[in-house]
Amino acid sequence: MPGFDLAPGMADFIAEYAAATALSTADTIERQRRDYEDVVRRFRQPHPRGIGSDDFAVDGRHGPVPLRRYRHRDGDDSALVLFIHGGGFILGSLDSHDDICAEICAASGFDLISVDYRLAPEHRHPIQLDDVDDAFAALDHPRTILFGISAGACLAAALCHRRRAAVRRPAGQVLVYPGLGGDALGLDSYRANADAPLLTTADIAFYRGVRCAGDELPVDDPEFYPLAARRYDGIAPTVAQSAAIDPLRDDARVYVERLAAAGVVAEWIDEPGLTHDYLRARHACAAAGEAFARVTDAVGRLGAGG
């Protein structure tokens, strides 16, 4: 890819991704969703042996919230992973990251529950966060680890800020290529990686606008942009993993710096040579596979209280 130093295997992954779809924000939401389903089908992997799943729902303030539980036959119920999918708040479902969820469950040994939050533009901010919050409250596990990807990582961090002073709080969070509001801060990665493969700065601006009704964006609201928070104490221990070739790269770095300054245990892992959505490349690119192993290890450490 001209101008970017990609890890071996990533260029082929990106080419295969492009063969499925351009996934252009110039298309309608409906077309983007159909194209995204094509990407999901192209890269879907079988569940690891020993992993079972079942679907159910919990009551939420906006109606039922669909969930999918993954359980290893030799699993450990001392912690629960609450998975929050990505997709720019307009894409994704229980199926879009099904294989990734199954592999996280297998690697960590912990039960994992994926939440199917309502999507924009049919449902505007903060409905997505309300759905995640309602799922967290209904599941009521004393040691819940949040695992959020991209937009889902924003929701995970936002939930930690919403519940910062609550009795029931997440026990940890793993954020993978999180979008936390760095565009409002003018962070350098939005310029350096403005035209990065699979996610551009222009794409991020589009997704940001779809989340809200009207012209006013609540960029000073930590439930919309966690980097807008005034306080970071009381946030759960955090591992934030970014892709070096991603406009969102510096969101993870700055968020971890602010957490650490507030006395929160936090770690930033930047993955060289990788782009946004690299978890889908975990079986096609050795560097992506190693990055996936690092975040599943983080789940295990946080689940064990580390």
Tell me what pLDDT residue 95 has. 98
CA distance linking residue 84 with residue 62, whole number of Å: 18
Tell me what pLDDT residue 74 has. 87
Active site residue 5: no
Cα–Cα distances in angstroms (integers) from residue 305 to residues 22, 136, 299, 301, in the given order: 41, 19, 10, 6
Tell me what pLDDT residue 21 has. 85
Cα–Cα distances in angstroms (integers) from residue 150 to residues 53, 80, 155, in the given order: 24, 20, 9
Active site residue 246: yes
Contacts of 148 (CB under 8 A, 6+ apart): 83, 84, 86, 154, 155, 156, 157, 173, 174, 175, 176, 178
Q: Which amino acid makes up residue 198?
A: L
CA within 13 Å, CB half, 199: 26
Compute φ and ψ for 85, nearest 5 degrees: -75, 160
Q: Which amino acid makes up residue 63?
A: G
Q: Choosing from 246, 250, 251, 277, which is the catalytic residue?
A: 246
Q: Choosing from 108, 114, 150, 189, which is the catalytic residue?
A: 150
Tell me what pLDDT residue 1 has. 53
Q: Choosing from 72, 97, 141, 276, which is the catalytic residue?
A: 276
Active site residue 123: no
pTM: 0.97
Token digits of residue 99:
């294989």
Positive or negative: CA dihedral 157, 163, 165, 168: negative
Q: Which residues of the chain have pLDDT under 70?
A: 1-2
CA distance linking residue 143 with residue 135, whole number of Å: 14
CATH class as words, domain 10-303:
alpha beta
H or E element at residue 162 = helix 151-162
